[in-house]
Chains A and B, each alone.
Chain A
Amino acid sequence: MDFVVKKAELLRELQYAQGGVERKTTVPILSNLLLETTANTVVVTATDLDVTVQCTCPAKVKVAGALAVSARKLFDIVRFLPEADIHFKSDGQNWIQVTCDRSRFKIASLPKDNFPEVPSVDTKTIALPAQPLHYMSASCIFAITQEESRYTLNGALMILKPGSITLVATDGHRLVFVSRKVEIAGLEEEKKVLIPKKALIELSKLTAEDVSSIEFGSTENHLFFRVGKRLLVSRLLTGQFPNYDMVIPQENDKQVVLNTREFTDALKRVSIMADEESHAVRLSVTENQLDIHSNGAEVGEAKETLPAIYKGESVGIGFNAQYLLDFLSGLDSEEIELDLRDEETQGLLKPKPKGDYLHQYVLMPMKL
C-alpha cells in the first residue's frame, strides 16, 4: 500500500471516523481503523460493531492495499502534523511508514482479514431530506433512555411514510414525537425502524454539514445512511417499540400558553430548591396565571408566578423540572402550549407557532 493524502482532508475524515471507534477494548481489533485504497481515494473505516463509519478521502494512490492501524495513534499523528502532504507506505509486512515534511513514523498494522467485514449496501436506498432529519434527531436524542437493560428503548423509532418522516423516542417517563410532512420519493409503503442512540448521534453530526439529502437503506441486520461521501452503518435493534400512540393524550382540554423563555428561566430558578433526587416542581394554573412551586424537604422552598394565557378551571400537577428543561432548552419557538387534564394525566407540550414540524412532548406527572 502506498498513497499520498492532504493533511487537512485526512484529518477531517478521521474526526468523523473517530466517533465509531470502540473506546473500551472489548475486542482489541476494534481500536483500529481500516485504511483501504481505491483508484483515487482512501477509504477510512471505523467500527465498534454498534456503529460503523466509513469516510472517503481523495488521495494519490501508487500501490493499492488495505491495512488496519491503531485509530488513536493515527489520529494523534495526523492531528499534530504540519499542513502538508502525508505519505503512507507499507513495507508489505506489519509496518506502515508515515512521512510528512520532516516527520517520519513507523506504525504497526494488521492485515485486513482481522477487521470486521463492513456490511455491504446491496439494498434499495431512498433519499431523505438531510436538514429535517438533522433537526429531528437533535431534538429527540435526549429522551432516549440511558438504561442499558431496556434494549428496545435504546433507540428512536423512525417511521417513514410516503408523505412524512416521524421520529419517536422515550425512556418510559417522557416521550418525544416529532414529525414533518415531506414527500419521500421511491417509498411505497410505511417503514418503521429503530435507530440506536449512538447511530442517531453520529447521524446528527454527519448531517450538521451542508448537505441536502441523504440516502437511507436497511437490511435484515443493518441500517445504512449515506451522507455525501460518508457512510454510516448501524446495527438494528431487535424488539418491539412501545405503542406510543396510546401514550400521547388526546383529551387534555386545559390549554395553557406560556412564553418559552420566561417559563424556562423560572423553572431553572425554582428547581434549585426542588428535591435533589426527584427534581419535582408543582405547576398550578389559574386564570391567566401559572405558579411554579418547589419544596425541598430540609433545604427550603421556592415559588414563582408567571403570566399565562388560560381560561378555565384551575388545575395543579407535579413534574420533574429536569425533564421539562431538557425539552425547553432545545426549542427556538417563542411560545409553548401546555395541555393538561387533571393531576393524574400526562401533560403534553407543544411549541407555538407550530412551524413545519409537528413536535410533541409527553411527560408523566409526579405525585406530590
Chain B
Amino acid sequence: MRLRDFVGNQQMVQILRRGQLPQASLFTGPEGVGKKTLALSLAALANCKGGTEEELCGTCPSCVKEAAGHHPDIWLFQPHKNLIRIGKDARDPNTMRQLNREVQFRPFEGRLRFFIIDQAETMTEEAANCILKTLEEPPETSRIILITSFPHRLLPTIRSRCQTFPFHPLGRETILSYLEDHLTEDHLEMRASLAEGSIAIALSLDLEETLEQRDRMLGLLTSWCEQESFEALYKQCEQLPLRSELKTREGVWRYLNLLHRIGEDLYFLQVETPERIVNQDRLEDLQKLSEGVELNWVRDFLYHVDRARWDIDHYVNPLMCFETLWLMSSNDVGNRHRQV
C-alpha cells in the first residue's frame, strides 16, 4: 500500500518513511491499526525502483512482487498452528532458524532485506532465544521488524534488543472517513464507533451481532444497578448464549469492551458531554441508567473493567474475571474497597 494512503498514526509514518529504520524494531499497538501494513509498505519503499524517497510507486516490478508476496527480499513470518517455531534446520520454511540464515545474505534484487515477524508474541521460547543474536547485530543490509499487540508477552531480552514504535488506536472520525471511502452500507457511524480504534475490526465487525451483545450488556448493567442482586445476575448469565460465551476468553473480552463503552457513555452523560456518546441509539436507556448512579461509581466501574481486561490478557480464568468485575462494582464492596 502506498504510504500516503495509510490511515492514522501519521506521526509514526512520517518518522519512519523519512528516517532510517533501526535494524531491529518492535511495532506494538492494538490489532488492526496497520502495523503489518506499514511494515510491508516500508519494506516496499526501501526496495522500490520508481517512486520517490518518501513514497513508493506501486507499479515497478519490485512493488508488484511485494504486493503479491513474491519479493525475494521481503520475508513475512507468521504463526503456523498458533505458534512461531524454531524449526528443524535453516531450510525449514517459516521458522526462526530460516530467518537466522536468510538474514545473513545480502539483498537479492533490492536495497535492503526485510524480515517481518507478525504476532511475535506467539514465538516459542526456543524460537525467541534463537533470534537474540541476530536481533543484536543483524548485517547492515537487513532489517527486522517484530509486530505484536501484546508486547509484555515477549521475552524481556527480545524487547530490550528492539526499538519500540507504539501504534495508537485510530480516532472515530478517521475510521469513519475510511469506511465512507470503502463501504457502501448504512450505519457506518455505528460501525466506526464500535471498532475500538481499529480499521480491521471496523471492516470485519458483525454489526447486528455486536449490537445484540451490547443490548445484552446494557440490560445486565441496568438490572444490576436497580437491584444489585447476584441472584438476578446469575440468572441472566445462565441463559444462552451468554452462558457459553462467558466461558471463552474472546467472549469475555468482547463483553468487557462493550461494558467499557457503555461505562464511558455513562461518564459522558454525567459530565454533560453527550456528543461523545457512542451508543446514541440507546440514549434514553442510558439516561435513565445514569440518573441512578454517581460519577464516582462510574469511574470505579471503568477502572474495574480495565482491571478485568488486564486479567484476561494475563490468562486469568475468563468467567472468574467477569464475576469479579460485578463483585468489585457492587456498592458494598466498592465502599469498603475505597475505605481501604
Going nearest first, the 7 A-B pairs with the smallest beta carbon separation are A148-B90, A221-B106, A26-B93, A117-B109, A116-B72, A151-B104, A29-B70
Q: Beyond A26-B93, A148-B89, is A114–B68 a contact (Cβ under 8 Å)?
A: yes
Is B83 located at the chain interface by the 8 A CB criterion? no
Most buried by A among B62, B72, B93, B97: B72
A235 near B106: Cβ-Cβ < 8 Å? yes
- Enumerate 6 A-B pairs (CB-CB under 8 Å) in ascending A order: A27-B70, A113-B64, A114-B70, A149-B100, A222-B106, A236-B106
Q: Beyond A114-B70, A117-B61, A119-B108, is A148–B93 a contact (Cβ under 8 Å)?
A: no
CB within 8 Å of B: which A13-36 residues = 24-29
Q: How far is the CA of A325 from the CA of B100 in the complex (A)?
A: 33
Is A238 located at the chain interface by the 8 A CB criterion? yes
- Residues in B with CB closer than 8 Å to A24 are 91-93
A151 near B109: Cβ-Cβ < 8 Å? no
Q: Mark B213-253, 1 if CB is under 8 A from A, else 0.
A: 00000000000000000000000000000000000000000
| Tally of contacts, chain A with chain B, CB under 8 A | 61
Is A189 located at the chain interface by the 8 A CB criterion? no
Q: Beyond A27-B70, A113-B64, A114-B68, is A238–B106 a contact (Cβ under 8 Å)?
A: yes
| Chain B interface residues toward A at CB < 8 A | 61-62, 64-65, 68, 70, 72, 89-94, 97-98, 100-101, 104-109, 139
- Residues in A with CB closer than 8 Å to B104 are 151, 237-239
Is A91 located at the chain interface by the 8 A CB criterion? no
Least Cβ distance of A123 to chain B in Å? 15
Q: Beyond A24-B91, A114-B70, A116-B108, is A148–B101 a contact (Cβ under 8 Å)?
A: yes
**Residue in chain B with minimal CB distance to A238:** B139
B97 near A148: Cβ-Cβ < 8 Å? yes
Q: Beyond A25-B93, A148-B90, A151-B101, is A235–B64 a contact (Cβ under 8 Å)?
A: no
Is A188 located at the chain interface by the 8 A CB criterion? no
Is A1 located at the chain interface by the 8 A CB criterion? no
Least Cβ distance of A115 to chain B in Å? 8
Range of interface residues on A (Cβ < 8 Å): 20 to 34
B97 near A221: Cβ-Cβ < 8 Å? no
B105 near A235: Cβ-Cβ < 8 Å? yes
Most buried by A among B97, B101, B109: B109
Q: How far is the CA of A239 from the CA of B91 in the complex (A)?
A: 20
- Residues in A with CB closer than 8 Å to B61 are 113, 117
Q: How far is the CA of A238 from the CA of B103 in the complex (A)?
A: 10
- Residues in A with CB closer than 8 Å to B90 are 148-149
CB within 8 Å of B: which A236-278 residues = 236-239
Known: A113-B65, A238-B105; 10 extra A-B contacts, CB below 8 A, are A24-B92, A26-B98, A27-B72, A114-B64, A114-B68, A117-B62, A117-B108, A148-B91, A222-B106, A236-B105
A220 near B68: Cβ-Cβ < 8 Å? no
Least Cβ distance of A92 to chain B in Å? 19
- Residues in A with CB closer than 8 Å to B98 are 26
**Residue in chain A with minimal CB distance to B95:** A26
Is A366 located at the chain interface by the 8 A CB criterion? no
- Residues in B with CB closer than 8 Å to A151 are 101, 104
Is A49 located at the chain interface by the 8 A CB criterion? yes
Most buried by A among B62, B94, B106, B108: B108
B105 near A116: Cβ-Cβ < 8 Å? no
- Residues in B with CB closer than 8 Å to A149 are 90, 100
- Residues in B with CB closer than 8 Å to A220 are 106
Q: How far is the CA of A115 from the CA of B108 in the complex (A)?
A: 12
Least Cβ distance of A116 to chain B in Å? 4
- Residues in A with CB closer than 8 Å to B109 are 116-117, 119
- Residues in B with CB closer than 8 Å to A238 are 104-106, 139
**Residue in chain A with minimal CB distance to B60:** A113
- Residues in B with CB closer than 8 Å to A28 are 70
Least Cβ distance of A50 to chain B in Å? 8
- Residues in A with CB closer than 8 Å to B68 are 114
- Residues in A with CB closer than 8 Å to B139 are 238
Least Cβ distance of A68 to chain B in Å? 10
Q: How far is the CA of A235 from the CA of B101 in the complex (A)?
A: 13
- Residues in A with CB closer than 8 Å to B93 are 24-26
Least Cβ distance of B273 to chain A in Å? 53
Q: How far is the CA of A236 from the CA of B105 in the complex (A)?
A: 7
Q: How far is the CA of A115 from the CA of B70 in the complex (A)?
A: 8
Least Cβ distance of A308 to chain B in Å? 42
**Residue in chain B with minimal CB distance to A23:** B91
Q: How far is the CA of A27 from the CA of B77 in the complex (A)?
A: 12
Most buried by A among B70, B98, B107: B70
Least Cβ distance of A190 to chain B in Å? 21
Q: How far is the CA of A239 from the CA of B61 in the complex (A)?
A: 30
A235 near B108: Cβ-Cβ < 8 Å? yes
Least Cβ distance of B23 to chain A in Å? 14
Least Cβ distance of B337 to chain A in Å? 55
- Residues in B with CB closer than 8 Å to A119 are 108-109
Most buried by B among A50, A115, A116, A222: A116
Least Cβ distance of A222 to chain B in Å? 8
- Residues in B with CB closer than 8 Å to A148 are 89-91, 97, 101
Q: How far is the CA of A222 from the CA of B70 in the complex (A)?
A: 20
**Residue in chain A with minimal CB distance to B100:** A149
- Residues in B with CB closer than 8 Å to A50 are 105
- Residues in A with CB closer than 8 Å to B91 are 24, 26, 148
Q: How far is the CA of A237 from the CA of B91 in the complex (A)?
A: 16
Q: How far is the CA of A50 from the CA of B97 in the complex (A)?
A: 16
Least Cβ distance of A32 to chain B in Å? 10
- Residues in A with CB closer than 8 Å to B65 are 113-114, 116
**Residue in chain A with minimal CB distance to B107:** A221
Q: How far is the CA of A26 from the CA of B101 in the complex (A)?
A: 13
Q: How far is the CA of A116 from the CA of B100 in the complex (A)?
A: 21
Q: How far is the CA of A237 from the CA of B139 in the complex (A)?
A: 11
- Residues in A with CB closer than 8 Å to B92 are 24
Least Cβ distance of A223 to chain B in Å? 11
Q: Mark A147-180, 1 if CB is under 8 A from B, else 0.
A: 0110100000000000000000000000000000
